[in-house]
Structure 1
Amino acid sequence: MHHSHVDGVPVFRCAEAGELRATLRFGAGVRDEAYRTRGVSALVAALAVRETGRRTSETALSVRAATGIGETAFSVSGRTEDVVEQLAALCAALGELPVDGVAAGVGAASCLPWPAAAALNARYGAQASGLDGQERTCPWPPTTEMVQAHAATWFTKANAVLTLTGPEPVGLRLPLPEGNRPQRSAPRARYPRASWTHRSIDGIAVSVETPVDSAASDVAHRVLHDRVTAALAERPTPVGPVETTVVPHDSKTVVRLLFTPAPADAVEEVAATLWSHALRLARIAPEQTEVDRHRRDATPLLDIAAHAELFGTPDPDEDGRRRALDAVTPDDVRDAWRLAMSQAQLVVPSGQLLDLAGPDGRRLWCTSCWTWDELPPWGEKFHEPLRRRAVRRSQERHWTILTRDSVVFCTAGPFHTLRFDEVIAVVRHGSERVLIGRCGCEIGIDPAWYRGGRRLIRALDEAVPAQLAYDCDEERDSHVQRPSRA
């Protein structure tokens, strides 16, 4: 592998005969956005690709863009001279980004399968990598100013790396805008020990954090996938497929996820099967044959080098990675997975109740944001009008409590408290409000639901900083929905 710099951008190339394949990568993805700017990385990429097409001939190669959790990549392949032309045009487009198409925008589609995205949201809330699993109350494109600011911060030569496979590209130029390496911070998991919780998914998911360079954790993840797949295949009606994915968290940590669909009548059984196999792997070392079967390194060499450059992750040479995998023993696999399971999180569909044991043998901790067995806090109560309460069954009634530092949504059973300092956005639909919490939950308030509802809305507007609020002028098919028990 050859390492060089072009116009201040690191370049890694694996020499091969044939056409040139190039990927210009930026350390910018969904985890670098906020609720209000969600989708801005993909929007920058789409605008840059469109402008690149304008700057080159109709017969030029097409540039493909993809935005993930932590990276946005532009790929192009073909004759060397054509690739060189496209890369130069793309870099120029990023430096002079057209924003006339911002209003049309692009959708903020999830980068991951929904169960995995929802599991990250449950683990970290509506921030960083958890943002991908945050359901949108009102998709709304970022403003022109947001797009320009994001591009100027994240799509610069200081946050870029180019990987090439093929012949040496003579005359290569990368005229990206100047900039500073962005400062990133990754949030800690919201809960410090193994737990389970709810999200709006049609299946089961489990997430753990492991060291980014842990070969034993990688083997354990694959062993668990095989075991759960085999166990679920024995059911009269299989629920698969079982899937896994690995998501970057910070320079030292990745999040490993395993998830599978599950019909409503099998959720508890599937969750118990997945969790029991995860616990067993943390307690009993696997067979040597299982470890041997999964000693492989599927990550391309160029990807490892690019990630090390962009994010500061370890970059051992190919022989070093091979030796690390060969040295993994069954006991190493068990010990690595035992450490990971100490903060594992199991995610199940809303409305399910589980009774499982945790890694320490005690009952697995439930981290739902809803509180069942306590009285709501004191504060000013806003009840439904009497005419509405009269036609509702008692278990369907709801009311809201306003305290000095929070809003509390109450039902006949559980209640949900959202502190004002945990609000990350307020979406306004006329007189209605939806408060988005850092926990990943939403509190919807329609003043028509309550006696004194307009006074409640005024109080909410005063309690939450104005810069967190934005208007959604979309036509909606229905009123704001009350939050699910997430």
Structure 2
Amino acid sequence: MSGEQLRTTEVDGVPVYWLPGPGTLRANLWFRAGMADEPLPTHGWLHLLEHLALHGRHSIRTPVNGQVSLLHTAFDVEGEPDDVVAHLRDLCRWLSQPAFSDLDHERRVLRAESSRRGGNPVGSHLLWRYGARGVGLAEYDEFGLHTAQPDGLRELAARAYARGNAVLALSGPPPAGLELPLPPGPRMIPARSVQCEQPLPGGFAGRPDAIALSGTAARSTAASAMLRAFERGLQGGLRHDSGVGYSAWSSYEVVDADRAMLTVGMDVIPEALRDAVSESIAILRRLRDRGPDPVELRDDLDAQIRQFGTRPAHQWLPILAARDALLGTPVTNSVEELSAETDAVTVAQVREVALSVWRDLLVSVDPKAGGDPQLTWLDSPPAVVKPSDGRRFRPIHPEHKGALTVGATGVHLETADGRASAAYDEVAGMVRYPDGGRQLIQHDGYGAQVEPTLWRHGSQAVALIDAAIPPALHIRLPERTKDQIPYVKVRRIDTVRGWLNKPVVWVPFLVLVILGVVLTTAPDEIASIVGRVIPIGIAIGVVTFFRQLRSKK
């Protein structure tokens, strides 16, 4: 185990962390800007800038890479010192004055990449926990690939790639001639992650052959130890004991400067999902109530300490320091410091983390298997609010029930499939298609889909909605194919049935018929006819009343 202390210096106003080590030089230029800093309409701009910055810089001699995570953007390069110096100099010059001649090319590349990107359980948990803002955007489409324009990208680059927002990690001493010509600017302070208001512990629909559980806790080595204990519990209980699962996995995602989301999961045979839910939650309860077995915890911590020495510290410790420094949290200065911190973890600390995870537990599983009595199933918005005023639109199909209300404060939908609302002041973004379709997405991830092809005067409803949503929140997407646009076919018989279902039509007609009968009938027969007609009319009225009442529910 290396006894080297982390070295620090500064180049062009940018902090540099490094440790001496053998091999080629590896440089990691980090910025405190990630997906959590993007609003929904521009989600993907940082990814696009990262691709543009590295376009044409790849080579066998000097391999480069880039990544945008929840809270950071990083540019990596490895090679001989002179090559690394040249790459960082040219990269920083581009970041200071970005060019966009390749914008459309990289936009297409990223669209192709996103089309192959499938959903993952960690992203789903981030979405359900945080909604359409902050770290929750990890699971959303990169709408910014459609909205990006040079002026907006240039403004973002000036903030994200400022020298005050950068830290460089090196696997060796800074080489001669190293330059980092970045523009001036301050550090971007990470916002506190805000969870959606919803009852927890809770569950939501996941894959039909898997289970995943997540919760949040303060960032710490004890949190990492608890996560490993939880994963081992799943592996032992669901694979080795009952044999219903394949392989447990875990994820530790930093969601702000102070907290992390801890997630564990496993592929499970469908017929065993209900038992898997019960067993998984039971494992977490044991960790919450008693903590891990002390001997097992000791073995785990010793194994972690041994692993610190398996990879040379100069390859990973400066990177860890750079990420923490950008978040404004204490930097680990040596492997010995990290080992001592790990060695000091106690059963009580792990219990405390398990309790924190339990308090805001989320479980993703097939709804048919999620019946744990302590879980609230999150299958609908917390509250659906109907505007007190506004214009009301009826369905185009005369037999379809429901209404679309466009008010001064929001939109409300009532259809056979249920109800949905979107308050204008809660809208994170509005997807708009050339055909008129609109999708209003709230900060909590819920919202309303408005299709003008389904409503009478639907184009007028869309015009009212467009005027109510600030232009900055409009997300203009390309045309949809015909099969993606919903339509209703109205036959003549549907129109006739629709009219006959309306009392305003048949009641006057019935009155006219009765009146005609009365006028053409002898007086002594009127009393007999009226005696038969009135009960029939009352019966029809009662049936119609209850039919109308049911259709409004």
Structure-1-length-normalised TM-score: 0.85
| Structure 1 residues 187 and 410: CA distance shift in structure 2, 3 A | farther
The one-letter amino acid paired with 1:208 is G
Instruction: Give distance in 1, aligned partners of 2:118 and 2:321.
Output: 23
Q: Structure 2 matches for 1:22-41, cutoff 5 A?
A: 22-41=27-46
Q: Structure 2 matches for 1:226-237, cutoff 5 A?
A: 226-234=232-240
| Structure 1 residues 174 and 369: CA distance shift in structure 2, 3 A | same
Alignment pair present for 1:162 and 2:168:
yes
Q: Aligned to 2:420, what secondary structure does the other structure show?
A: strand
Which of 316, 321, 331 aligns to 2:338? It is 321
Q: Aligned to 2:438, what secondary structure does the other structure show?
A: strand
Once the two structures are TM-superposed, the CA of residue 308 in structure 1 deviates from its matched residue by 2.4
Does the 8 Å contact 1:447/1:456 carry over to 2?
A: yes
Instruction: Give distance in 1, aligned partners of 2:300 and 2:117.
Output: 26
Instruction: Give distance in 2, aligned partners of 1:182 and 1:103.
Output: 28
Does the 8 Å contact 2:189/2:327 carry over to 1?
A: no
The residue number in structure 2 matching 1:356 is 372
Which of 201, 204, 214 aligns to 1:198? It is 204
Instruction: Give distance in 2, aligned partners of 1:233 and 1:428.
Output: 47
The residue number in structure 1 matching 2:324 is 308
| Structure 1 residues 353 and 410: CA distance shift in structure 2, 3 A | farther
The residue number in structure 2 matching 1:468 is 473
Alignment pair present for 1:426 and 2:430:
yes
Does the 8 Å contact 2:428/2:442 carry over to 1?
A: yes
Instruction: Give distance in 2, aligned partners of 1:353 and 1:378.
Output: 39
| Structure 1 residues 141 and 22: CA distance shift in structure 2, 3 A | same
Once the two structures are TM-superposed, the CA of residue 252 in structure 1 deviates from its matched residue by 1.5
The residue number in structure 2 matching 1:392 is none
- More off after superposition, 200-209 vs 143-152: 200-209
| Structure 1 residues 476 and 152: CA distance shift in structure 2, 3 A | farther
The one-letter amino acid paired with 1:88 is R
Please say which structure displays the higher CA radius of gyration: 2
Instruction: Give distance in 2, aligned partners of 1:179 and 1:375.
Output: 43
| Structure 1 residues 231 and 434: CA distance shift in structure 2, 3 A | same
Which of 409, 412, 421 aligns to 2:413? It is 409
- More off after superposition, 65-74 vs 398-407: 398-407
The residue number in structure 1 matching 2:120 is 114
Does the 8 Å contact 1:369/1:416 carry over to 2?
A: no
Q: Aligned to 1:242, what secondary structure does the other structure show?
A: strand
- More off after superposition, 317-326 vs 278-287: 317-326
Once the two structures are TM-superposed, the CA of residue 227 in structure 1 deviates from its matched residue by 0.8
Alignment pair present for 1:258 and 2:269:
no
Q: Structure 2: any 5+ residue segments left out of the alignment?
A: 1-5, 309-315, 488-553
1:220-266 deviations in Å (ceiling 9; x for gaps): 11000111122221587744432211122222212212233456655
Once the two structures are TM-superposed, the CA of residue 385 in structure 1 deviates from its matched residue by 2.7
Instruction: Give distance in 1, aligned partners of 2:89 and 2:253.
Output: 30
Which of 218, 221, 226 aligns to 2:227? It is 221
Once the two structures are TM-superposed, the CA of residue 478 in structure 1 deviates from its matched residue by 3.3
- More off after superposition, 299-308 vs 284-293: 299-308
Q: Aligned to 1:140, what secondary structure does the other structure show?
A: helix
Does the 8 Å contact 1:30/1:128 carry over to 2?
A: yes
- More off after superposition, 86-95 vs 97-106: 97-106
The residue number in structure 1 matching 2:216 is 209
Does the 8 Å contact 1:29/1:71 carry over to 2?
A: yes
Q: Aligned to 2:104, what secondary structure does the other structure show?
A: coil
Once the two structures are TM-superposed, the CA of residue 375 in structure 1 deviates from its matched residue by 10
Once the two structures are TM-superposed, the CA of residue 41 in structure 1 deviates from its matched residue by 1.1
- More off after superposition, 93-102 vs 309-318: 309-318
| Structure 1 residues 428 and 138: CA distance shift in structure 2, 3 A | farther
The one-letter amino acid paired with 2:215 is V
The residue number in structure 2 matching 1:44 is 49
Alignment pair present for 1:435 and 2:440:
yes
- More off after superposition, 248-257 vs 117-126: 248-257
| Structure 1 residues 42 and 7: CA distance shift in structure 2, 3 A | same
The residue number in structure 2 matching 1:291 is 297
Larger % of helix: which?
2
Once the two structures are TM-superposed, the CA of residue 138 in structure 1 deviates from its matched residue by 9.3
Does the 8 Å contact 1:111/1:132 carry over to 2?
A: no
Does the 8 Å contact 2:11/2:180 carry over to 1?
A: yes
Does the 8 Å contact 2:394/2:404 carry over to 1?
A: yes
Does the 8 Å contact 1:122/1:197 carry over to 2?
A: no
**Percent of residue pairs bearing the same amino acid type:** 24
| Structure 1 residues 256 and 266: CA distance shift in structure 2, 3 A | same
Structure-2-length-normalised TM-score: 0.75
| Structure 1 residues 477 and 322: CA distance shift in structure 2, 3 A | farther
Q: Structure 1: any 5+ residue segments left out of the alignment?
A: 358-362, 390-396
Q: Structure 2 matches for 1:366-381, cutoff 5 A?
A: 366-370=377-381, 381=392
Instruction: Give distance in 2, aligned partners of 1:416 and 1:423.
Output: 13
Once the two structures are TM-superposed, the CA of residue 475 in structure 1 deviates from its matched residue by 4.1
Once the two structures are TM-superposed, the CA of residue 207 in structure 1 deviates from its matched residue by 2.2
